[in-house]
């Protein structure tokens, strides 16, 4: 209720804007958020895109879908479902396959090489890490930092995420501010 009251008293929600090295492919209404969250996402998504080698002439695409519960009700949350035209669930499957492959490699050096190649090329994992490293997300009293996605249990910040909550975020990344 407090969040909704704050939101109702402030400016109307805005779509997350496209940047220079990235663009938003989803309809604007899929990611209507507070100006504060739009600005934070604009900053972090641009940094992710540039770090990953994208540019104005070769931007990376994101796809949002609307959420309904919790922070979504007041525009303080956003859900990213795809990056580079590929769903987060598929990026995570690819990640799991690569790490399983690495775990079977007999040499430590080969394990490191396979993992390193995947860390470089897996845009889903890279997006999650960029949101984790560069984003300033909400941490409501008594709740964990509001960044959840397919990698939360292994990469943090909330490594003790429950099975149901992890399943609920198997195909997207949720951030709130
Ligand atoms: Zn969400």
Ligand 1 being an ion, which residues bring their Cβ within 5 A of it? 67, 77, 79, 174
Task: State in Å: Cα 104 to ligand 1 middle.
Answer: 35
d(CA 148, CA 84): 19
Task: State in Å: Cα 70 to ligand 1 middle.
Answer: 8
pLDDT value of position 1:
43
d(CA 162, CA 89): 18
Contact in structure between 94 and 122 (CB atoms under 8 Å): yes
d(CA 120, CA 1): 42
Task: State in Å: Cα 21 to ligand 1 middle.
Answer: 24
Q: What is this structure's pTM? A: 0.93
- At 80, which helix (H) or strand (E)? strand 77-83
- Helices 123-134, 108-121: crossing angle, 10 deg rounding: 80
Task: State in Å: Cα 78 to ligand 1 middle.
Answer: 6
pLDDT value of position 8:
54
- Helices 35-51, 123-134: crossing angle, 10 deg rounding: 130
pLDDT value of position 11:
78
pLDDT value of position 10:
63
pLDDT digits (tens, 9 = 90+) for 18-30: 999 999 999 999 9
Mean pLDDT in each 10-residue stretch from start to end of the chain (177 residues)? 51 94 97 96 98 98 94 94 98 98 95 97 98 97 96 97 96 98
pLDDT digits (tens, 9 = 90+) for 71-86: 998 999 999 999 999 9
Closest CA relative to residue 122, chosen from 111, 133, 132, 130: 130
């Amino acid at each position: 209720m407090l969040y909704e009251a704050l939101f109702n008293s402030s400016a109307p929600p805005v779509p997350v804007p496209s940047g220079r090295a990235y663009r938003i492919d989803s309809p604007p209404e899929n990611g209507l958020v507070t100006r504060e969250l739009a600005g934070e996402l604009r900053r972090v998504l641009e940094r992710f895109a540039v770090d990953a080698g994208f540019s104005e002439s070769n931007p990376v695409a994101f796809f949002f879908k609307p959420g309904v519960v919790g922070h979504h009700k007041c525009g303080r949350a956003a859900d990213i479902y795809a990056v580079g035209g590929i769903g987060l669930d598929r990026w995570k499957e690819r990640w799991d396959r690569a790490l399983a492959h690495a775990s079977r490699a007999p040499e430590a050096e080969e394990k490191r090489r396979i993992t390193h190649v995947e860390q470089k090329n897996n845009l889903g994992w890279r997006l999650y890490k960029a949101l984790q490293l560069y984003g300033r997300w909400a941490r409501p009293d008594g709740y964990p930092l509001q960044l959840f996605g397919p990698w939360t249990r292994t990469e943090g910040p909330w490594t003790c995420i429950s099975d149901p909550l992890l399943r609920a975020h198997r195909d997207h990344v949720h951030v709130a501010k």
